[in-house]
Amino acid sequence: METNSKQQEVLLMTGTTFSSRQFSEKDSSSDNINLSEIEQLEEACINGLLKEMLPELNAQSADSKKIFLWGIKEADSFIEFEYGEFPEETDKYFSLDPYSFLTTKSFN
């Protein structure tokens, strides 16, 4: 019997006014002064920025399993955050990542 697991992908576009904002740190003891804008955005998202902006990420699946951040991929114009109940390969056909789903597109 196949069970369905919950997976979510979030793409944040880089090179935008949102991604170039300065984010305040939760823990001021870490030395993140020399981080680039993209690295600061990644750090803020790891520390809970995405879950504050997108409360749907806090939603639990039907059988009350929590989802966790399993992967971060940085591309030329976006950062992809992969959430799931456990680490699992994303179905390329349904992925938001254009580098994944474009390889499965059939050309006429």
The verdict on residue 1 lying in a domain is: no
The verdict on residue 73 lying in a domain is: yes
Cross-strand partners of 8? 83
The verdict on residue 108 lying in a domain is: no
> Residue 13, CB half-sphere, CA atoms under 13 Å: how many?
5
Q: What is the pLDDT along the chain (108 residues), one digit of tens a residue?
A: 456 777 888 888 888 887 777 666 666 555 656 778 888 888 888 888 888 888 777 665 556 677 788 889 998 889 999 888 888 777 777 788 887 766 666 655
The verdict on residue 106 lying in a domain is: no
The domain tally of the chain equals 1
Please tell me whether the overall predicted TM-score, pTM, comes out greater than 0.75 for this model: no
The verdict on residue 61 lying in a domain is: yes
The verdict on residue 107 lying in a domain is: no
Range of the domain at 81: 7-101
**79 contacts 72 by C-beta, under 8 angstroms:** yes
